Copies of this chain bind each other. A is one copy, B any other.
Amino acid sequence: MLRSHTCGELTIANIGEKVTLCGWVQKSRDLGGLTFIDLRDRYGITQLAFNMDVHSTLCLEARKIGREFVIKAIGSVKERESKNLKMATGEIEIVVDHLEVLNAAITPPFTIEEQTDGGDDLRMKYRYLDLRRANVRANLELRHRIAIESRNYLDKLKFLEVETPVLIKSTPEGARDFVVPSRMNQGQFYALPQSPQTFKQLLMVAGFDRYYQIVKCFRDEDLRADRQPEFTQIDCEMSFIEREDILNTFEGLVRHLFESVKGIKIDSLPRMSYADAMKYYGCDKPDTRFDMQFVELNERVKNKGFKVFDDAELVIGINAKGCSEYTRKQLDELTNFVKRPQIGATGLVYARVNSDGTVKSSVDKFYDAEQLNAWAEKMNAQPGDLILILAGGINKTRKAMSELRLEMGTRLGLRDKNTFSCLWVIDFPLLEYSEEVNRYFAMHHPFTSPLPEDLTLIKENPGAVRANAYDMVINGVEVGGGSIRIHDRNLQSQMFSLLGFTTEEAQDQFGFLMNAFEFGAPPHGGIAFGFDRLCSLFGGSESIRDFIAFPKNNSGRDVMIDAPSVIHNDQLKELGIDVKE
């Protein structure tokens, strides 16, 4: 080793020792008689001291060394005169007697500090410098720790990590595949997996009983802020289980991660039906760090001459506790918020519950005091509270109210990133109907089993069938989802047929799986966690990009290495493909 210690480990216990450190120059201070260098590595920062009186040549050398130079310093550990107790090494410094520049550095394009002056583009282009920042490195250390602890937990439960292939077969169902032209089989393509779904099911057919993998998956989608073309899943599957077993096993995983990685104890996770999630939170991934559930007001508001409510399919209110004193400006902000095109409400009705118990609403001319008091009662609103009401079509109103609820949660400071509220959302619809293409789509995927008690509905009313599926939601983020799978060939065929596959198409694309079901497939089910998102949640960040070593930008580009890029014509020729002009 070029060093005897790292920059994070020397303390007063080492005083008097001769040590060799290597690292990067975080900063240097020239105080005339004394020069100090803060030497940084992954493990910490240690102060190097050079004394002009004692060793002038060396001190002069040290003064010439710039930020981010890589150096090796040999010296003795000495107790500091002015200690910095915030740092692990803050009680000591190294009195250097030998110094070597291992590599020089030109000036970085942004400062290597937790708060940097580098913008996103610059940071991504020089990602290797961005990764030197302690907070970015800490994100990836956290990721490593979560991976290790996930494996420990699953290994103890006898899950086997099995690698499934990356070069697989393209299937038109679901999101768009990335494809890979085959040189040895010209005109044919591999696809990169969107998930190892069929392979993990085949592992269950193979009797592997418990499988997991922390695995890269790929989706060629138009990217939004928090999407990456390649992403990582903790992918799991179990045999001979029922839904309850999966829920217990994997809430166990998440509770283990919270405890081992963050030292936080999490209670057992409540279960909420999809129907309730929609009714009370307007979305299937409710942020349950705060209450503010929807209250349906149809009964109390209709037929009083207010056309907006009279015409509405649904009128719902939320109770913003303690907000009755909101100003006109604040209420206008909220109205503008819900009227933004991406939310699309036509307006916002409010009612203040004053300190004297009277209720004052924006639609007073349609409702008398008694009626308004009835609203407040229904909303469980106390003096000082503010009732916010939206009305319209069911889905749209719920969606808009969900956004408003989150906005109010944020405004009221109810969404602390260091508080964690986890739950299971269960009993999703099996199918979604698309008016556009006039057929059903699988809400999760075509391998999801219906709830046993809904099986009889599948012929006459498929839209009403609930899936034996579940999502884990933490702080309003869907961190994982899965289902009990179909393991019966006939039911699987029926499912493909519901989804508009002809028998030939189903056989062509998924014949291997349906055939496998004929050779003794066990009841099985599983789950996949979005690993990037789980890490960002644990790290208290909304951006998954900060938890990926080398992420791509919103155009799917790696700006550091400049990929994708044009390839040689020879390569295209060998692959038997042409690029269209």
Contacts and interface: CB of A to CB of B under 8 A. Distances in A.
Interface of A: 1-3, 6, 22-24, 40-43, 68-70, 102-106, 108, 126-132, 137, 140-141, 143-144, 147-148, 151, 155, 160-170, 172, 176-192, 198-199, 202-203, 205-209, 216, 218, 220, 222-223, 229-230, 232, 239-242, 245, 487-488, 512, 516-523, 548-550, 552, 555-558, 560-568, 571, 574-580
Copy tally for this chain in the complex stands at 2
Given A207-B40, A209-B42, A199 B550 contact: yes
Contacts of A24: 207, 520
Contacts of A40: 207
B487 A230 contact: no
Contact of A183 (B131, B176, B488, B579): B176
B549 A512 contact: no
A190 B564 CA distance: 5
Nearest to A217: B166
B562 A512 contact: yes
Given A181-B179, A208-B131, A556-B182, A576 B565 contact: no
Nearest to A241: B1
Contacts of A165: 230, 550, 552, 558
7 contacts: A103-B521, A131-B206, A137-B207, A164-B549, A179-B180, A185-B556, A578-B580
Given A561-B512, A567-B170, A577-B577, A103 B488 contact: yes
B167 A519 contact: no
Contact of A222 (B151, B161, B184, B512): B184
B179 A567 contact: yes
Contacts of A167: 178, 218, 229-230, 552, 556, 558, 563-564
B169 A2 contact: no
Contacts of A147: 161
Contacts of A127: 202, 206
A103 B511 CA distance: 18
B103 A487 contact: yes
Contacts of A566: 187-189
Nearest to A20: B240
A189 B520 contact: no
B141 A160 contact: yes
A240 B22 contact: yes
Contacts of A198: 561
Given A102-B522, A106-B519, A184-B556, 13 more contacts: A2-B523, A22-B239, A24-B207, A127-B202, A140-B208, A143-B162, A163-B548, A167-B218, A169-B558, A169-B564, A177-B571, A576-B579, A578-B579
B242 A2 contact: yes
B562 A169 contact: yes
Contact of A129 (B131, B519, B577): B519
Contact of A170 (B103, B216, B571, B580): B571
B577 A580 contact: yes
Contact of A232 (B163, B169, B230, B579): B163
Contacts of A216: 163, 166, 216
Contacts of A520: 24, 68-70, 103-105
Contacts of A571: 170, 176-177, 179
A137 to B, nearest CB: 7
Q: Which among A103, A170, A574 has the greatest number of chain B C-beta atoms within 10 A?
A: A103
Given A131-B208, A192-B180, A163 B552 contact: no
Q: Which among A69, A143, A203, A512 has the greatest number of chain B C-beta atoms within 10 A?
A: A512
Nearest to A566: B188
A11 to B, nearest CB: 18
Nearest to A209: B42
Given A3-B240, A160-B144, A232-B163, A206 B564 contact: no
A487 B70 CA distance: 11
A126 B207 CA distance: 13
A103 B140 CA distance: 45
A128 B518 CA distance: 12
A383 to B, nearest CB: 53
Q: Which among A69, A155, A163, A169 has the greatest number of chain B C-beta atoms within 10 A?
A: A163
Contacts of A161: 144, 147-148
